[in-house]
Structure 1
Amino acid sequence: MPKIVDHEQYRKELLGKCFDLFAQKSYSAITMREIAHGLGVSTGTLYHYFPSKQALFEQLLEEISQQDVAMALAELGGRKPLPEAMAALGRYLVKNEDYFIKWTYIWVDFCQHQDSEQIKVSGVLTRANQRYQQAACDFLGIQDRVLASFVLSFVNGLILEKLWGDETICFTEQCALLGKMLTAYLPQSVDSDGSDRQR
């Protein structure tokens, strides 16, 4: 009897193994043949699931952004007062620092070797950014997408500083400072239990 393959599950398994391959070799340097070898599949099998390296990477970005959001929200827990929420975010960044640095490196390398218009057309970056913004809104208990985008930009900046080797950056200190700034920015909206933080 032939083996029944769940193609969607198999595609996700292949994607899950690609992160480390891109982190080890970089998007620009690795070939589809090397990816197939690293995954232990034929190049034909790889091309069956992913028509190009860019398509593979874009699907990886979709998967990672979904997993990142689900994992972060699960680990960071429910709504907390803003200072506690930012302290939890700082601890989460410390715990996952290596992963975030690798992912940022991979993403920067990908963008460096793509036409910016081509990236916009695919929509993958837009969808990932919307997913992250919604997660930031949910985490902070706000509806202000501009503020959520600011917080994400702040976090991305911290990760880039770490990527560049700045060992003076402390995620917990920086997040605590951002928590104080946000509390001052949202004075009427922040109550003692952290609910109704909307502007």
Structure 2
Amino acid sequence: MAEEKKDETILEEDTKQQADSELHVEEIDANETTSTDSDEINEPEVDHLEIELVETKERLARVRADYENFRRRTKDEKEAQAKYRAQSFIEKLLPALDNFERALSVEPQNEEAKQLLQGMEMVNRQIQEALANEGVEVIPTKGEMFDPHLHQAVMQVEEDGYESNQIVDELQKGYQLKDRVIRHSMVKVNS
């Protein structure tokens, strides 16, 4: 709003100066006198041009700052996108990983089942290594103090040997990708 008023004021001054200069030219023509001094410059016009120059420099500085902010934001967004590119895939993989770990927790009844379980453990290790290479970490739980940023308390129990607000047991593993939590750990907390 202030900029518009400022622009209107400048426009009015321009119009006045232009009218004054036209009037001045007509007076010269009427007197039929020619000035031999071409270095003579109209003072108000110089002042006006200086003001206009300052305003233009200020606008240029603002545009430059806006552009730098845009470049920085774009760069930050690209870095975040590259950093967390695997997040959606990992989120889809976690339920399958949970089922895989449940299958590993079954006690084998015969030799054939034991061999199958060994093969599944090897595959599980490879999956865990691949996730670790992407920056995925399991959120530590048992014995840790409850942190609402990392854990989701689904039960409160009273257990001896644990401090208040200390995690007693983990019901579902939580994962984080670099510094971002993908899934909170579901835990039992001592009250």
Task: Provide TM-score, normalisation by structure 2.
Answer: 0.25
Taking CA–CA contacts closer than 8 Å with sequence separation of 6 or more, which of the two structures ends up with the larger relative contact order? Answer: 1
Task: Provide TM-score, normalisation by structure 1.
Answer: 0.24
Of Structure 1 and Structure 2, the greater strand share is in 2
Of Structure 1 and Structure 2, the greater helix share is in 1
